[in-house]
Amino acid sequence: MGSLVLFLGILLFSFILTSMVVVPFINLLYRLKFRRAQQKTTDAFGKRTPIFDKFHRGKAGVPVGGGLLIIVLVSILFALMIPLLEYFGIEITSLHQNSQVEVQVLFFTFLSFALLGLYDDIKKFFAFEKSKFFGLRLRQKLLLQIILALIISCMLYFRLGISILHIPFIGTFELSWGYIPFATFVIVAFTNAVNITDGLDGLASGLLMVALFGLWILSSSILDVPLSVFIALWLGSLISFLYFNIYPARLFMGDVGSLAFGATLAVVGLLLGKVFTLIIIGFIFVLEIFSSLVQLLAKKYFKKKILPAAPLHLTLQERGWDEPKIVQRAWLIQIMLTLFGLWLAFI
């Protein structure tokens, strides 16, 4: 009970602090002109998205960079919170023997992918596409993602000794060295999945909020204090951001948020040793990137589209679904997926 009270208090503190600074931050983004322009956009695979432009033309001018605010606040608070808890005599228990390495993994993932996403945002909104310095192509950015994910996977394997995969009803498998490429794939996949899903007001952020609540319950149940504190801070800040991100959005997450959040979501699942649960809880993200991948391969090799548009939420828009309807029903599905994932994790 004491731990639950502590974690809930941390969540509320993060929410209140973010709520105090988010409006001035939005005004700052307006002054910096860091906002969505009226231009032809591309998806995560570098392909033009005319259907997206058709439905989202009216969103030009909305500030982008809400993810940056969350990342800065959560990182500062997390850096201060763990020493503060130790100062007051609260034991920093962890699922892993070395809680400091766990903290390092979380920080490295959160910040490194945020920097990569910030590069994308700066390139898009300040028109640096033709600059040599800002001239990274899709393959090069994907390579950077793989390198970052590989570093994180090595930290998980060599420094924390994580090397198993548990599948409910089947058993636990020792992957040994194979864990490194496996974890790398999971991180890169979820990084791009969340990025692709972030296409409707409140969609990715709302799904992420529900998913994090599920993973927070898991981390709290095993008294993993660093992970529970980190998720509590992240959730509190994300809920405040979501208030301004729901339809009609006044603030967008940006790639700085979607890349960092997708990678960190995957790492949280890996740290908990619940990758199968992560896939269930994050199934909508998986479905979104799978629909985009299938569409891309079909157009490349068969010269035709399988879906009217990709990812899946654009297909629903093309078929006449209103944006809030898609988002709200996705949230409801996400709640049930999270409950199902938790059930599997606890059996």
Provide the pLDDT for residue 47: 53
Provide the pLDDT for residue 165: 94
The most distant pair of C-alpha atoms in the chain lies apart, rounded to whole Å, by 64
What does the alpha-carbon distance between residue 77 and residue 236 come to, in Å, rounded to a whole number? 12
pLDDT per residue of the chain (347 residues) written in tens, 0 to 9:
668 899 999 999 999 999 999 999 999 999 988 876 655 555 544 555 666 666 666 677 899 999 999 999 999 999 999 999 998 888 899 988 889 999 999 999 999 999 999 988 887 766 555 554 445 678 888 999 999 999 999 999 999 999 999 998 899 999 999 999 999 999 999 999 999 999 999 999 999 999 999 999 999 999 899 999 999 999 999 999 999 999 999 999 999 999 999 999 999 999 999 999 999 999 999 999 999 999 999 988 888 888 888 899 999 999 999 999 999 999 999 999 999 999 999 98
Residues 6+ apart with CB under 8 A from 121: 34, 64, 65, 254, 255, 256
pTM, two decimal places: 0.93
Provide the pLDDT for residue 34: 81
